[in-house]
Amino acid sequence: MSWHKVGRGKRALRTRSGDVWANAESEHIIINGEAYQERSVGASRPLDDWSGVIDNTVWVVDEAGNPVLRFEGRHYDRRAYTKAILRDQSRFSFPVIGRRNKALMSAVDESGNTLVHYRMSGLWAPSVECVVTPAAHHIPEIPLFVAVTQSLLFGYFDGPKSSGA
């Protein structure tokens, strides 16, 4: 599945068969009629002087402001430091291999199981496609999880040396 533009400022996360998993409008992600948005917690700051990695926490909250997902760290300058934490406290990391025009990222749980595969392709107008493994279908937040984690792959290649090589 991947994001597709469906109107001015609107995108849809669609499967290959055309099913819509999520919609994005402005700062909201809408899944099954419920809106979610990201909220930064605290100030972003470097973890240390040499790495340039930003230590920040971002919550994805529902319409009532209840946290659904938490992200700690950041993918930046070819460093994969983001961790995602679900409501049940299960944790995921997102290792990346490859180059900007042919990159692969995985959502890996604490047991080492890969639940989502992401693939970035295209150098001048890159896009990210993902495949959700059957083992992930039991996670209630999986549509939201996929909708917000695809952008990590773009962030991985951002930074002072963002030539893509």
Lowest mean per-residue pLDDT among 18-22, 78-82, 123-127, 133-137? 123-127
Q: Rounded to whole angstroms, how far apart are CA atoms 143 and 119?
A: 17
User: What are the pLDDT digits (tens) for 94-112?
Assistant: 999 998 788 899 999 999 9
User: What are the pLDDT digits (tens) for 66-88?
Assistant: 888 888 887 777 878 888 988 88
Looking up tokens 């917690």 gives 41
Regarding beta strands 34-46 and 54-61, do their DSSP bridges make them parallel or antiparallel, or are they unpaired?
antiparallel
> Is residue 113 over pLDDT 90?
yes
* Residue type (1 letter), 59: W
Instruction: Average the pLDDT over 138-160 and give the result.
Output: 83
Tokens in use for 121? 């392709």
Instruction: Average the pLDDT over 19-44 and give the result.
Output: 79
Give the contacts of 141 (CB within 8 A, at least 6 positions apart). Answer: 68, 69, 86, 87
Helix (H, G, I), strand (E, B) or coil at 15: coil
Judge whether 130 and 118 are in contact, CB under 8 Å: yes
Tokens in use for 21? 């998993």
Looking up tokens 């946290």 gives 67
Instruction: Average the pLDDT over 14-35 and give the result.
Output: 84
Instruction: Average the pLDDT over 110-137 and give the result.
Output: 86
Q: Rounded to whole angstroms, how far apart are CA atoms 8 and 142?
A: 26
pLDDT in the model for residue 53: 44
Q: Rounded to whole angstroms, how far apart are CA atoms 5 and 9?
A: 8
**CB neighbourhood size of 143 (10 A):** 18
